[in-house]
A = this chain, B = another copy of it.
């Protein structure tokens, strides 16, 4: 069952990662799974949601901007970012945003 992240009352942060993959795996699936596991261990991590068709969208949620900065500079994550730029993605965009309001059912 897919799960929508249970986030706290706003404000909190969302990192919107939109990407277009190159062809071929080159270790992508394994690293992507590892990065999710590693992110879950980080301070301030709230959850992650992901879907890919032609375009991939991954949104991770964080309590504060400092936690996002720490995750961005995590050594193993830096290595993955580097391979991402060189091999896995033909284009990507990272957007760091502050969630001001939310609702749902």
Q: Which residue of B lies closest to A1 (CB)?
A: B54
Shortest beta-carbon distance from A71 to chain B in Å: 14
Majority-rule SS of A interface residues: strand
Taking A14-B95, A20-B2 as contacts, is the C-beta distance between A51 and B56 under 8 angstroms? yes
> Interface extent on A, as a size class?
35 or more
Q: Which of A23-31, A32-40, A85-93 contacts B (4 or more CB under 8 A)?
A: A85-93
CB of A78 within 8 Å of the partner chain: no
Mark A residues whose CB is within 8 Å of B. 1-5, 7, 10, 14, 16, 18-20, 49-57, 59, 65, 85, 89, 91-105
Q: Does the CB pair A93–B104 fall under 8 Å? A: yes
Taking A52-B53, A57-B57, A57-B59 as contacts, is the C-beta distance between A14 and B97 under 8 angstroms? yes
Q: Does the CB pair A16–B18 fall under 8 Å? A: no
Interchain CA distance A89-B1 in the complex, whole Å: 14
Interchain CA distance A10-B91 in the complex, whole Å: 19
